[in-house]
Chains A and B, each alone.
Chain A
Amino acid sequence: MCLGVPGKIVDIDGDIATVDFWGVRRQVRLDIIDEPAAVGDYILNHVGFAIRRIPEESVAETLSLYEQLMAEAADDAMTSDIRGEIAAASAMAPEKGRA
């Protein structure tokens, strides 16, 4: 449950980013990211929130293990943790509580 998963920002609306995870698009909250992120950046998503902007020079390296794992059977423990992290981001734009 706590692996985190990298994805690429394709759109930003306030505190919410639309992030692409290997073709699956999800909404990820940006409230607690370590530094401002822009469209085109990769972030690490953990339970629906971006916890880090991945520096550009580290993107390829970070993606490689995930790519290998994503290719594995869905019932593998690490693979299912990663899929869980993708599922953690919500499919629709969540309503924000801030009035």
Chain B
Amino acid sequence: MSFSRRRVAAITVKELRDYRHNRFVIGTMAFLPLLFIILPIVQLLIAPAVAASPELTDRVGLSLLYMLVIPAVVPSTLAAYSVVGEREQGTLEPVLITPIRPEEFLVGKALAVAAPTITIAYAMFGIFLAAAKLFASPVVSSAVFAGSHVLVQLLFTPLLAGWSIWVGIAISARSSDIRAAQQLSILASLPPLAIIALMQFKVITPSTGLALALAVALLIVDTLGWRAVAAIFDRERLITGTRG
């Protein structure tokens, strides 16, 4: 039997249906992005309206960085919940009794996290851009839209989300406590963001080459993550660890 898209879809659809009624998920998806969009917008609004100062560049850079926290952190909390959450609800065993393969289960879970969280991240970025255009001073606003800022942001949003999702699911598959899994996942979602921050603040000399290398590295993790997580997915431990 080969990889079944139908089984992947069954998991994803089930998961999305479950989100609608899950207060924790709704809360995470509504509250965290709002929290993380306030700071960057405030940064923009109070930025000095002096043309092309280094301080302005820093401010804009910082607010764009804040915007990347959303695709890094929001998916990681949901991904951390995905396996250990089902285990705690007692719904994992019935699923693992079906012919499903770990890869199918994991990809289904990842898509269910990716779809809403990437949508939300883009929506928040849209709101951020609109706020820059409408409310920030023209100098600040043009600094936001200058160069490849927007493009980089659009590119790194799904790449970072992918990293956070796979790392979060991996942690979820190996831990036995939801809260511990979430804290660990949030921490683990930060390293790529930290590299971007170091470039942003010129600790590492920013270059297109470096940015591309990071993007490619993330892309590899995102597309092959399911294999790595499937390898550490231990059906037996997940089943027998649920006792009690």
Check if A and B associate. no
Q: Which residues of A does B touch, CB under 8 Å?
A: none
